[in-house]
Amino acid sequence: MLTDTSPLEAFIDALPKVELHVHLVGSASVPTVLELARRHPDGPVPADERELRAFYEFRDFPHFAEVYESVSSLVRTPEDVATLVLGTARDLAAQNARYVELTVTPYTHQRAGMPMPAITEALDHAVREARARHGIRVAYIFDIPGEFGAEGARGTLDHALAHPPEALVGFGLGGIEQCRPPHRDAFRDAFRAARAAGLRSLPHAGEMTGPETIWEALDGLGAERIGHGTSCLDDPRLVAHLRETRIPLEVCPTSNLRTGQVASLAEHPLPRMLEEGLFVTLNSDDPPMFDTTLTGEYRVAAEVFGLGRADLAALARNAVAASSLDEAGRRAVTAEIDALAAG
């Protein structure tokens, strides 16, 4: 176990980072959620800190999705949206993150009564403020909530095409994977249109279902990156394909533990994914809900999986390479990582 003064821990703290898999609502800190719960006392979320932390003890992924939806129901105004973005930017900047691709599920905010242009205006404002206040670049991925099927796909696509934020770079698909099959064609159509508009295909897949969901993401949705993807190891042909094509996998170890996808961190497949030569990035997913941070995930990689400085720097470089940063941005962050690793 690392100590508080461990040189490796200090290296992790100083490591320039990129976050590719973090959700807007799931990134809300406990104080922010408490503020929203007190502001909207008719909501289903506890306004007491101890009760809220107990509320975040998840039985399984469906229970997590239920809690997530409850917290999302507290986000009712464009100001709430901007506050969440800026909170995430502040928290990540404090961890030496230089860039984040923040997953937003605009359809849930539309259902809460927010007009698309107002949501977009809040997102654009937050990008500018995050750069000015915290020195971090923010981009967005618009995520279909899979449980809402074709309706969610249409609503998300309409927003992405008609009122896209300036920093919108990707189109995603989340939620409970078992709900997807009846809506496969609707999801495929939405991704086809989003990709035609220049957005990257960045769906979740293979977190709570098997390799078939990853294959569908690749073949049906044209995925350029896979959110989670941990079940890929169950299919040697898929592992070989991912290795050959260098499709990045956004791995979130603590998330998988907290939602019951693995029994313990020691049993997490990340080490084997690295042994197989897969293109892995480290991410935090819903950090306050899972009692983690992006830095915390790098510490897990060191403490639990035994990765050293070179391995951790390689994971940080992978995140830069897999990102939607412009070439100059990629070079700048990579140079920072290289300088720290060389020192």
User: How many other C-beta atoms can be found within 10 angstroms of the C-beta atom of residue 62?
Assistant: 16
Residue labelled with tokens 């403020």:
129
Q: Which of 19, 101, 177, 207 is catalytic?
A: 207
* CA gap 207, 329 in Å, rounded: 30
Which of 322, 107, 98 is CA-nearest to residue 227?
322
147 is catalytic: no
Q: How far apart are the first and last CA of the chain?
A: 23
* CA gap 167, 232 in Å, rounded: 31
Residues recorded for the chain:
343
181 token code pair: 């099959």
The secondary element (H helix, E strand) that includes residue 202 is: none
Cβ neighbours of residue 35 closer than 8 Å, sequence gap 6 or more: none
CA 204 to the chain's CA centroid: 9
253 token code pair: 């170890």
| Residues noted as catalytic | 207
